[in-house]
Structure 1
Amino acid sequence: MMRSRPLAAAGTALLALAGLLALSACSGDAAAHSPRADGRLHVTASFYPLQFITQRIGGDAVRVSSLTRPGAEPHDLELTPRDVAHLQDSDLVVYLSGFQPAVDDGIAAAGPPATFDAAPSADLNLTFTPIEDGAKKQNEAGSTDPHFWLDPVRLSAVATALEASMARLRPDDAPAFARNLTALRAELAALDADYRRGLSACANPDLVTSHNAFGYLAQRYDLRQVPITGLSPEAEPQPRELADVVDFVEANHVRTIYYETLVSPAVAETVARETGAAAAVLDPIEGLTAESAGTTYFEVMRANLANLRHGQPCR
């Protein structure tokens, strides 16, 4: 299972709201299935990467909002009653089951007319297995890595499945959705090719990251991720775990420790300071902020590639 955390307060609010939503289900369903005043498909995405591909596929025919506000950590999302009511009023909710427990609970309470779960088409086949000579986080062993979007090939597969769901809901817009998907898949294929070329000859394949978010990227491009913390980006490593990482960095001549934009870089900077390595950003693209190295998924992914090429380093 992916990471979960206590949501008692949010769960109580959702249960209370569920009764109110049930009373309005008939009128709510009718409104959701009737044509919108603006003529567009109203979609709620749970966090930025899903919002991005939905907007790219839908173009002008969709109106997309995100449950995770810019700058917020999606792992920690909690929903307000208004958020849950918004789910019920959406034509389609796009989410990743297990990644944000509050969203799973909100969907169950709201019962939106249509949902798309990215998990099946993302092929989430990586579980957290502490490596023998790196950080040992046994409390997360066996947890599923949800960060599929950092692998452009997986993101392309999810986009293909999402387009099919959107086309079923809006047959008249299906030709436009198909054209937009073709363009998006071509860009993702080009990004994958850039990563393959850019990371094909690196001096060190060991990717030491502050957050266990880059497993699919590492798997795709023949790198090995050694995370300082686990699937939770706010988790504080135990002294033994931190010592393991320091030992690993020194033994394997790792030159760069990567941190991210939405959480404190303190842990990564500590390891860098202890080992004489450099510290650099590697963005998991869970959300965009003013500090992000770009304004779109593609821009930030290419900034990540540049940082990887410099940090590993690669010819």
Structure 2
Amino acid sequence: MCTNQVKSKSDSARNKTLLAVSAILALTVVAIFAVYLLAPKQPPQSKTGIVVAVTFYSLKPDLDQLVCSGDSVFSVTPSGVDPHEYQLTPSDVAKLRDADIIVSTAHTPFETQIRDLVSRGEIKAVLIEIPSIPGVSIKLNPATGQPNYHWPIYDPENYKIYMVYVEKKLETLRPECAETYRSNLKNLIEKVSTIENATRKLNFCAVATSPPAQYAVEWAGIRVKYLLVKEEDLPATPEDLARTESSLSSGECKLIVVVGSTSTQVAQKALELAARHSVPYIAIPDPIAPDSTLNKIFKVSQELTKLPPSG
């Protein structure tokens, strides 16, 4: 009987201890919850500026002149890298997921990948594909008869349409910077219009080394009829070259346009043709060179001043 009494007292003490511990734990939980409820709420962190991604590095300098303080522009492809050979990396995709706007020329394989990622919702940014901007004029490649997607913003009118379109997107996403965007746009439009108006209009049939020449010079009255490189990695055939030679020797075409460096194999071929047929040539910037397109248009205008007024 004594043993039972001792056991009963022991169980009672144990129960009281458990009840005390449970009460303490309950009070601790209540206290923590109260602290959480009473603590001042921190506002959610938010970025102040717009992040703009461009697929070609040479798209960046013009947009740097358009954006507002706090905005940022980065390029998927590094400066000096040929975007036509670039492959999208997981790191690139991660960066693109942080972008608000993506500007693309829409004609290289990695740009097609970006379009697919956006269409599947894996990238949430607004995608601007330059050839699809309303009002941008796309020329037909004179050698293939297919649309020429190689730098349509080399044409001053296309350039203006492009910049106006991007400005509207920026303004929609960050209306508090609207005045700055409009002021920067006005400055860029005035600069390109000044170049355009100061450039004498010509009347030449021309042979060019590559497709971007169409947009670079046709706004000034020069008609690019023959190409030494018809598309990326697609050189002219012997038959194409024979027709080109005939046009130069007959006087049909009286100018050669070299796009980019004059030291490349195709440029050397162009200079050889110029010397053989006694026709002038001009050398214009490669669209993927790191300078702004605005400055490239200015340099084209300077080259055009070297030519006589008509063909």
TM over 0.5: yes
Aligned match for 1:46, one of 49, 55, 59: 55
Shift of 1:111: 1.7
Change (3 A) 1:181 1:68: same
In structure 2, what is the Cα distance between the partners aligned to 1:51 and 1:161?
A: 16
Who wins on radius of gyration, i.e. which is larger? 2
> Residue 286 of structure 1: which of 285, 288, 294 is its match?
288
Q: 2:155 aligns with which of 129, 133, 151?
A: 151
| 1:124 aligned partner | 137
**Cross-structure match for 2:248:** 249
Say yes or no: does 1:309 pair with 2:311. no
Runs of 4+ in 1 over 6 A off after TM superposition: none
1:164 aligns with 2:168: yes
Q: CA deviation at 1:54?
A: 2.0
> Which whole-Å deviations, capped at 9, do the CAs of 1:223-274 have from their partners, x for residues lacking one?
2112323452443221111111111112126554222226642332342344
Amino acid at match of 2:213: F
Aligned-residue RMSD, C-alpha: 2.7
Paired position in structure 2 for 1:76: 85
Measure the CA separation in 1 of the matches of 2:83 and 2:112. 13
Q: Aligned AA for 1:73?
A: D
**How many percent identity over aligned positions?**
17
Instruction: Give unmatched runs, 5+ long, in structure 2.
Output: 1-43
Q: Deviations over 1:65-88 (max 9, x none)?
A: 122322333333332222222212
Q: Distance in 2 between matches of 1:248 and 1:35?
A: 61
Q: Distance in 2 between matches of 1:40 and 1:142?
A: 39
Instruction: Find the counterpart in structure 2 of residue 100 from structure 1.
Output: 108
Segments of 5+ residues of structure 1 without an aligned counterpart are 1-32, 131-136, 289-294
Matched, 1:89 2:98: yes
Per the alignment, residue 208 of structure 1 pairs with 207
Once residues 197 and 254 of structure 2 are traced to their aligned partners in structure 1, the CA distance between those partners, rounded to angstroms, is: 25
Give distance in 1, aligned partners of 2:280 and 2:80: 25
Larger displacement relative to structure 2 (152-161 or 53-62): 53-62
- For 1:112, give the aligned amino acid: K
Opposite residue 289 of structure 2, the aligned amino acid is G
Structure 1 residues 72, 272: CA separation in 2 closer, same or farther (over 3 Å shift)?
farther
Structure-2 change in CA distance of 1:158 and 1:215 (3 Å): same
Q: 1:150 touches 1:284 (CA, 8 Å); kept in 2?
A: no
Aligned residue in 1 for 2:293:
297
TM-score norm. by structure 1 comes to 0.72
Secondary structure, in 3 states, of the residue corresponding to 1:216? helix
Output the amino acid matched with 1:121.
Answer: P
Q: Distance in 1 between matches of 2:219 and 2:282?
A: 21
Separation in structure 2 between the aligned mates of residue 176 and residue 228 of structure 1, nearest angstrom: 42
Q: Which residue of 1 aligns with 2:35?
A: none
1:158 deviates by 1.0
